[in-house]
Structure 1
Amino acid sequence: MKRLIEKGLMFGNLVHVESPALVERYNRALKALTGKETKLADFHIDVSGYSPEIGDEFSDHLYLNHNGCNRQFILLTTDQKNAPLLNARFSTSRGILTRFIEENEAQLFTLTARDAVAGELENTVYDLESPARLFDIRRITVIADTTGNHVAEGQKLSGLIERFRTEEDGWWDDVLIAEMITLAERTGDVTRNPIELKSTRFDQGNFWTAHFGGIYVFRDVKHPAAISVGQKQALGQLPIKYVFDMDDRNQIAKFLEINDLVEPIVNAPGADAAAILRQKMDFIVVTAAAGLGLEIGHGSRRELRQAAAALGARLPDEFQGLAALLRWVETGADWPRITSSHPSYFYTLRAKPHADRDLVNMLLSELSPLDVRQLFICHKELFYHLYRSWPEPKKAFVADYLEREYQIDKAGARRALFGSEPDMREPGDSRPGWPSGREDDIVDIVGPWGAVRKERR
């Protein structure tokens, strides 16, 4: 993993905490949340205030996320909004934190100028003893205040000022006036600079969780379903009608289609389909060659073509399917009959522009893990997990490629692969007006997976 860290592909964009004042503020917040303090003089933190160095010091990398259920956070600066979220247990957590920071940036800038802001993403579920408990998570409430309780005291002072203005004897209430003066000494003038945090409640509709081996929950779509990374039988009874796992490729393909969540890359507006397909094929060649111990040199296009020629019939079905589709794109060859049971099928898709685009692309990357670029962009937790077991030549190629081709223009790469950013709403919002998928009589009669087609029209 050292190679990834050196190239900024792991632990990149973390906020460096090195001044004694910030370390002291962090420790005050850490003490309030966990009862612990760090002895480190400097460290790095993510958007939630989690530090991998402190995690090592405590031998506990969930010190701000006990049970992986109600994530606690520490804000020292609004710059944390640009940092990643490490050890994510829910796909919505980073979006909630960044939106909370952005929509309260002026207030948080003022508060963090003199103290740390500590809080929690509270979802009213405090343990996940069974997968069914995931479906009790409906709303996330952001609870936040400084370690000196400036927000709570500011709200209290605002209430006292309202009493002073409206109560008939307020001018002569010495106790009320004395309490206002005492609070004002700590909070400042709340009439000119009110201390109030907004956007603290977020609905959690569709999401991914790392719990129970990984589960994708889609309940705010026309035809809801849960998709398990592990065997679905291990989840037990869930309060949702349809449950699939990664072996149910036909059912997952049908689910994505009838909810209008995906589109073929070759039909995607503005996509250079040929370039995207070629790059996916290159990644597959690297995996196949590295697995057989074949040389790929520096991974140039010429060297990869030579490796593909050396592999010949040993090239995997994923490569063969994409090659047939590329021939159709570039030369007008016959349309390849790639069904959802074919290993290359999910490599040919990307999410449509809707509020859950990133979640769907995350699912697609799990279904097409040989596309290492999409895997890195959409599902870093899985990327890092798989990276550890790759042969050294593949590790070197992937790290060099991502540094060279992705790091220099992340936004451009994402736009080329997935299209422009959709009009995103609050994580988990219901989305009236968004395309909800085609609906025909047969679906109403037999249910969305009653008769699964073998191929996509």
Structure 2
Amino acid sequence: MMERLIEAGLMFGNLIEVSSPTMVARYNAALEKLIGKRTTLTEFHIDLSGFSPEVGDELDDIRYLNPEGCNRMFILLSLDQLKAPLLNAQFSTMRSVLRNFIQDNARELMALSVREAVMGELVHSMWRIKSPADLLELRSVTVEANTPTDRLGEAEQLSRLIEDFRAKDDLWQDDAYIDTMIKLAGRVGDITRHPVRFRKTEYSQGNFYTNYFDGLYLFRDMSYPAMLYRGVAPGFPKIGAVETKDLESAVDVWHFLQLNGLITSVFEAADLNAKALLRQRLDFMLANVLAGKADAPAELARLNRQDLRRFAMRHANDLPPEFEVVEAALRAAEQGLKPRLPGPTEPGCFYLYRAAQLPDRDLVNQLLSEFTPLDIRQLFLCNKPAFYKAYQGWTERKQNYVVEFLSRDEALKNDEAWEDLFGDGTPEEEPPPQAGPWGAIPKG
């Protein structure tokens, strides 16, 4: 069922190929050290963390680098991994933590990876999550990293030996002591010029999404903090000092977002083409209706906007209530009038909003996508797990439409989609041109 997505590069896209015998051997050495297993594959693809879908299939364990879900292990072979997505992410913060660790410690990683992979674990203060309350304990992530041959441990040992050698006058006569230092230096290099010690390994984890408990958003660094998840028990409004909100309640979510100033109307954004955005959303709604009609063309993605509307008008009674709300707002904007913004009890309300330009913009846009499922482009960009889950329930005609549209949408390839949806600002920047497996050494 998902083969079309994979073939079109819409699933497992931008993974990094591992095919040279050297890199496969390095991967295996790290994998054996981490989980006691090796792969027999001679080529495969990896994500940002070194996870490979092919290796997961071979081991019959799609969570082989993330067994408990909380502390994700990783294998770093190349700076190219910065371009790759993070698959099966249990926490929305894990990608930024791993990217920041790589960028913050580029010099050290380059020195370590000359001969072997760098491997490790993203460690929370808890290794198993049993209840939503446990998530409040996760305030930071520590990156523990090394190489299969323990080069960091040997470098630290060499550093202590050098300090003692300088401090004690009689050690220059100890041949065994000096021989140990020489052997260690031969393995770890000149640590006096190139210290093998990471500059930064601890990262804060403030607001985040986790797929624990069927999907949960924690916004604690807010004026009015809240935890949003499904199945919130009535009469249980707080966990500690944090309010709990039902993720399935549009009213609860709406009031939380408004109270904290996390969303703005698409019409208030000077950096956003609100009319074009809403026209596209209406097209998606029309296509969704036609996808279930026998008299509609088989290749919906080939229809232009006028064709879509002409066919859809035959089934006007089947249009979703969201269509009428969004169309009325668009019509007012096109006539130079102030559009009416409906409240959360009316369908289509969330289609007229976007995240405010704040640090948690991406997380808020992911939350909004939960309430704008008919916008397949925003769902794909902001909430891929929800997109893949929804895709499996669509008709074959809609699946074909979505794959064709996303595959041909040039906006997805040049950041215009991000500007259309979110205004100024693009996804995390790609790394600069590389020179060797870990790129050019950064200045400073």
Q: By the TM > 0.5 criterion, same fold?
A: yes
Q: Does 1:232 align with 2:232?
A: yes
Distance 1:162 1:201, change over 3 A: same
What residue is the counterpart of 1:415 in the other structure? 419
What residue is the counterpart of 1:252 in the other structure? 253
What residue is the counterpart of 1:385 in the other structure? 389
Q: Quick one: which amino acid aligns to residue 315 of structure 1?
A: L
**Is this contact kept in 1: 2:231–2:246, CA < 8 A?**
yes
What residue is the counterpart of 1:287 in the other structure? 288
Distance 1:421 1:27, change over 3 A: same
Structure 2 residue corresponding to 1:320, chosen from 306, 318, 324: 324
Q: Quick one: which amino acid aligns to residue 391 of structure 1?
A: T
SS at match of 1:86: coil
Q: Where do residues 13-412 of structure 1 align in structure 2 (5 Å cutoff)?
A: 13-228=14-229, 230-233=230-233, 238-296=239-297, 297=300, 298-333=302-337, 335-406=339-410, 409-412=413-416
Q: Cα offset for 1:272?
A: 0.5
**Is this contact kept in 2: 1:50–1:64, CA < 8 A?**
yes
SS at match of 1:121: strand
Whole-angstrom distance in 2 between the partners of 1:372 and 1:380: 10
SS at match of 1:303: helix
Q: Cα offset for 1:423?
A: 12
Once the two structures are superposed, residues 123-158 of structure 1 have per-residue CA deviations (whole angstroms, 9 ceiling, x without a partner) of 021111222212221110000011111122222222
Once the two structures are superposed, residues 48-85 of structure 1 have per-residue CA deviations (whole angstroms, 9 ceiling, x without a partner) of 11110111111110010012110000111111111001
SS at match of 2:182: helix
Instruction: Give aligned pairs, total.
Output: 423
Whole-angstrom distance in 2 between the partners of 1:284 and 1:423: 26
Once the two structures are superposed, residues 275-331 of structure 1 have per-residue CA deviations (whole angstroms, 9 ceiling, x without a partner) of 000001111111122134451542321221113312213211111111011011111
**Is this contact kept in 2: 1:131–1:235, CA < 8 A?**
no
Whole-angstrom distance in 1 between the partners of 2:174 and 2:294: 85
Q: Quick one: which amino acid aligns to residue 415 of structure 1?
A: E
Distance 1:120 1:5, change over 3 A: same
Distance 1:334 1:117, change over 3 A: closer
Distance 1:374 1:382, change over 3 A: same
- 294-303 vs 217-226, greater mean Cα deviation: 294-303
Whole-angstrom distance in 1 between the partners of 2:231 and 2:310: 39
Q: Quick one: which amino acid aligns to residue 24 of structure 1?
A: A
**Is this contact kept in 1: 2:329–2:341, CA < 8 A?**
no
Once the two structures are superposed, residues 59-117 of structure 1 have per-residue CA deviations (whole angstroms, 9 ceiling, x without a partner) of 11001001211000011111111100111110001111111112222322332231011
Q: Where do residues 409-448 of structure 1 align in structure 2 (5 Å cutoff)?
A: 409-421=413-425
- 385-394 vs 208-217, greater mean Cα deviation: 385-394
Q: Cα offset for 1:391?
A: 0.9
Whole-angstrom distance in 1 between the partners of 2:85 and 2:426: 20
What residue is the counterpart of 1:455 in the other structure? none
What residue is the counterpart of 1:449 in the other structure? none
Distance 1:410 1:384, change over 3 A: farther
Once the two structures are superposed, residues 205-230 of structure 1 have per-residue CA deviations (whole angstroms, 9 ceiling, x without a partner) of 100000110000011111000111x2
What residue is the counterpart of 2:437 in the other structure? none
Whole-angstrom distance in 2 between the partners of 1:422 and 1:405: 17
Q: CA RMSD in A?
A: 2.1
Q: Quick one: which amino acid aligns to residue 5 of structure 1?
A: I
**Is this contact kept in 2: 1:232–1:245, CA < 8 A?**
yes
Whole-angstrom distance in 2 between the partners of 1:358 and 1:294: 39
SS at match of 1:67: coil
Distance 1:132 1:25, change over 3 A: same
SS at match of 2:245: strand
**Is this contact kept in 2: 1:222–1:259, CA < 8 A?**
yes
Whole-angstrom distance in 2 between the partners of 1:346 and 1:169: 75
Q: Cα offset for 1:240?
A: 4.3
Q: Quick one: which amino acid aligns to residue 215 of structure 1?
A: L
**Is this contact kept in 1: 2:246–2:252, CA < 8 A?**
no
Distance 1:353 1:176, change over 3 A: farther
Q: Quick one: which amino acid aligns to residue 418 of structure 2?
A: R
Whole-angstrom distance in 1 between the partners of 2:426 and 2:405: 27
Q: TM-score, normalised by structure 1?
A: 0.88
Q: Cα offset for 1:12?
A: 0.8
Q: TM-score, normalised by structure 2?
A: 0.90
Whole-angstrom distance in 1 between the partners of 2:373 and 2:128: 31
Q: Cα offset for 1:234?
A: 9.6
SS at match of 1:367: coil
Q: Quick one: which amino acid aligns to residue 324 of structure 1?
A: A
Q: Quick one: which amino acid aligns to residue 201 of structure 1?
A: E
Q: Cα offset for 1:173?
A: 4.5
Once the two structures are superposed, residues 15-63 of structure 1 have per-residue CA deviations (whole angstroms, 9 ceiling, x without a partner) of 1111111111111111111111111111111001111011111111001
Distance 1:142 1:301, change over 3 A: same
